[in-house]
Amino acid sequence: PPPAGASPGSGALNPFDRRLKRKQKNWAALQAEPAKCDYLREEVRGWGRSQGHLECWGRFPLALDVGSGRGYIAQHLTKETVEKLIQVDIAENALKNAVESEIPTVRVIADEEFLPFKEDTFDLVVSSLSLHWVNDLPKAFREIHQVLKADGVFIGAMFGGDTLYELRCSLQLAELEREGGFSPHVSPFTAVADLGHLLSRAGFNTLTVDTDEIQVNYPGLFEVMEDLQGKYMLCMGESNCSWNRKPLLHRETMLAAAAIYQEMYGNSDGSVPATFQIYYMIGWKYHESQAKPAQRGSATVSFGDLAKIEGLLKREKK
């Protein structure tokens, strides 16, 4: 089983209640027709734009899916690409109710920050929309790097810092106006400027970090909140588990937030947008066979010379 997790007294260093997150994901995995709740995961498609690269990179004898949930990534893998898959998640119900795959699969209950595997074990590690809930993201990246073999690759997707910015701003302004202060109602996210640095510090090289946005339109703020707290995000196990979360919102504050949301972000047809920012990342573990940058000062052609090529081509054409 995963570690006990943080306590409220250590919330400054551990913003998330991992025990609560485990309960949320376990509850989500037992809901009827959970596939209807996975529209964001389906949009990301396991690893988003990186999916097409795997076949070009060859065959992976052993792969690890960190925060696998019900096996969202496994549905998009083939046995021609991955020979064997290990699925890891903090919630046992998610693993018990995982979707079957054509790839031989082993399921392990473990925390993303404490991977129970030896060094240099996996050829490929993937993770989709899970790492934004870990308390120590640098440690999670180091754990992933450690279990990768040399020349192994990590492909991941996670929610970014601008996720639900419309909702956060509207709620904060409404609470400041009606209650004289505000509390977080949406969990904190990592900034894209930090992501590449964290991956590099963990030991990854040849990094690729990309961002994308998924926008979903709703009739109004109340429908956004219902979606997040109820039928979809709760079914995905995505409810807020921050230690400093506020248990409820006053009706007057909600009405004010709805008006602010509509005024600041409303669409011409009367609907309001909710934005989900996705970070896609690829990082490799070092191997001596990998391409290396040329030594400083070894170039034989200057950028100044390259800039003259266009002029030379024009004269040649004349």
Whether the Cβ atoms of residue 209 and residue 192 lie closer than 8 Å to each other: yes
Mean pLDDT for the stretch of residues 150-170:
90
Which residue in 227, 50, 22 sits closest to 110, CA to CA? 22
- E strands within the chain? 60-66, 82-89, 105-109, 122-128, 148-159, 204-218, 272-285
pLDDT at 306: 65
- Residue carrying the six token digits 């979809």: 232
Interatomic CA distance for residues 270 and 284, integer angstroms = 46
CB 216 within 8 A of CB 226: no
| DSSP 8-state assignment for residue 34 | G
pLDDT band at 124 (very low <50, low <70, confident <90, very high): very high
Q: What is the pLDDT of residue 236?
A: 40
Q: Considering only residues 80 and 230, tell me which one the structure prediction assigns the higher pLDDT.
A: 80
pLDDT in tens, 33-61: 655 556 677 777 645 444 556 666 778 99
Give the per-residue pLDDT at 181: 64
For 233-263, how does the pLDDT look when each residue is reduced to its tens digit (9 = 90+)?
443 434 444 444 555 667 888 899 999 999 9
Q: Is 152's pLDDT higher than 80?
A: yes
Sort strands 82-89 and 105-109 into parallel, antiparallel or unpaired: parallel
In angstroms, the Cα distances linking 47 to 125, 160, 316 are 11, 14, 47
Each residue's pLDDT tens digit, 191-206: 788 888 999 999 999 8
**What is the distance between the alpha carbons of residues 158 and 40, in angstroms, rounded to a whole number?**
11
Q: What is the mean pLDDT of the chain?
A: 79
Task: Name the region of 200 (left: φ>0; alpha: ψ -120 to 50; beta: rest).
Answer: alpha
Domain 18-164+189-217+275-287: assigned CATH number: 3.40.50.150
Q: Looking at the predicted structure, is the pLDDT value of residue 273 above 90?
A: yes
Q: What's the farthest any 2 CA atoms get from each other in the chain?
A: 76
How far apart CA 57 and CA 82 sit, in angstroms, is: 11
Evaluate if residue 207 carries a pLDDT over 70: yes
